[in-house]
Amino acid sequence: MQSVKRAVLYGIGVWLLLVVVSSLLFSLEKRDDTLFESVKFVSLATIVVGFFTAYLRPLKKSSLNEGIMVGALWSVMTVVLDLGLYTLGLFNLSLFDYFKDVASSYIVMPILGGIMMGALRGK
């Protein structure tokens, strides 16, 4: 990773924005779970693309491997930080359901990172 500090700080930013968006969308989950899941996933992808764009901006070169590594770091950080909230009782689902429903969507982070940073490899 070219900037571990920036990757970690942006990973925290991704998580914080996800928490804010999820909090804002919480009432929608009770009314229309299918719409909530769609909006949540689009929000996740948008947040990740935004942070990858900011991460890439100052780099002279990028690579598929770095994109996957940064995305994987953000995925792991998000799960760990989520589990901190889980231990505080802020999730209304079992740990199994958390991994099946919430954490499984975080696979998009290394995928988007690989696509974005791999496509810009020759920059």
Cα–Cα distance list, 48 to 26, 34, 107 (Å): 20, 21, 11
d(CA 5, CA 38): 32
Q: Is the model's pLDDT at 33 over the cut of 80?
A: no
* Structure confidence at residue 12 as a pLDDT band (50, 70, 90): very high
pLDDT digit string, tens, across residues 57-78: 888 888 899 999 999 999 999 9
Q: pLDDT exceeding 90 applies to what percent of the chain?
A: 63
> Do residues 71 and 121 touch, judged by C-beta distance below 8 A?
no
Q: In which region does residue 44 sit, left (phi positive, over 0), alpha (psi from -120 to 50) or beta (all else)?
A: alpha
pTM of the model: 0.90
